[in-house]
Structure 1
């Protein structure tokens, strides 16, 4: 039971996705030569540090989030069985675990370089102490949450190549724009549950056509953004073609939501978002290494 509660505290599936995107970007950054790595050699020890440190940092942010939202989680069927609202774990226990994960994770990531450590602390603060309280106040919370949500690939890249260059901004930009249809699809599916806690995550606060249109527009914006690696010459036509195909499929799912305004279409868009991001990131990595 202790292990299951820890898994729920750190939101294991979400944490896995975060670490995955950071690790892929680390491998991309390792291929970009600079003075300390002129041959573009992958340091696998540092890669392991990134994975462990990234897991701990993300787990800490999720732990702080659950401490702050304990009473709200108790109101929603989706979250009522988490360890804090169910009473299986106290606030003090969760706080100690989260602090230990945050401190050790920051130490590991900071040992790679100071920029990586700084960005990691910034991600925790923004997610736990800005995005979390804003969820009850305004749909702008999705914009705020998209920033720490898009930091993992940036953190992974600068862990290998300690400079925020054009490639770093591209990997950040793709995940940043992706956050919006991803967030809003989930919010559409879970809107009834979210309203029990007073969360306002849909663009208008309601399952209406305007929310669906805004979701479609951001999915449309994602299409050219996903092609930036090819446009700027960091990826070839292979990653460009795959990104285009998956962006069109993703856009079609968003169009269906705009046309039908139903939970089934939102759920399809949600699952489409889960598939879209890792495929595009992996194709960028494979194409980048093959250049």
Structure 2
């Protein structure tokens, strides 16, 4: 009898946790936390576990809040697309009011956690939530420039870690911001290319030309080149304490060239398979690049 009672209870908790992960986009949030921690390690004079925990918790709350607000706003459009129709709100598993309450709670927890680190970190976290929710989200159905606007909150995490460690914004976090800013475009346009038909069902305008054509592919190539250039700038000693050794520069450059090859293949073939390969290459690049930066600092 006890097992029979516990089983439904366990199922409820399991489903609730699954919906929480879905509405906060747990995998995306974890990747953002990873970027923030990489920035923290690059900026820190002395590593403090309490700061790492606050940054990780606050960062997850920040991203989770943005995604929850986004899903509240886009609940009707999500119901039209195959990739989003089973999300908690359009599927009916979570009410709009509960999702909104969760988003507000996560916002408060995130901002307070980041404020404990320092006010600048909390400010940038709040700006990120505002831009993602109040500017990027409504623009997605209006203009492809939404991706440009969305690149700003998307580029904040790497920079945020440095600010959390130093309570300062200068050339170093600015460079980290620019690296992830330019990376956003090939990454999200590759994703937008793959999901173009589904995005159109929801009325989203994600590709720069509105089409899966050479114009879009050419812009992907150009932004990939800028990303590579900015990624190796710290090797030239002009970015303050953010520096890169020659071996690390070569590794980062080669990884960027691999991503550029995938971008060129998309320009040549203009198919979903090539777009998917570029998207996966971009995820690998940003993760490995951050690891190389951190390892290079400590060796």
User: Structure 1 residue 258 and structure 2 residue 267: aligned?
Assistant: yes
- Shift of residue 184, structure 1, vs aligned partner: 0.2
- Equivalence for 1:269: 278
Distance 2:122 2:220 in 1: 33
State the secondary structure of the residue aligned to 2:208: coil
Matched with 2:137 is 132
Match of 1:34 in 2: none
Partner of 2:98: 93
1:1-291 maps to which residues of 2 (within 5 A)?
1-30=15-44, 40-232=45-237, 234-290=243-299
CA drift of 1:169 comes to 1.0
Runs of 4+ more than 2 Å apart: none
Q: TM-score, normalised by structure 1?
A: 0.95
1:227 aligned counterpart, secondary structure: helix
Which digits, 9 at most, give the CA deviation of each residue in 1:129-160, with x for residues without a partner?
A: 10000000001000000000000011111000
Where does the alignment leave 5 or more consecutive residues of structure 2 unmatched? Answer: 1-14
Q: How many residues align?
A: 281
- 1:37 matched residue in structure 2: none
Q: Displacement, 1:232?
A: 2.2
5+ residue gaps, structure 1, are 31-39
Post-superposition Cα deviations, 1:35-90, rounded to whole Å, max 9, x if no partner, equal xxxxx211111111000111111100100000000000000000000000001100
Q: What's the RMSD between the two structures over aligned residues? A: 0.8
Report the secondary structure of 2:207's partner residue: coil
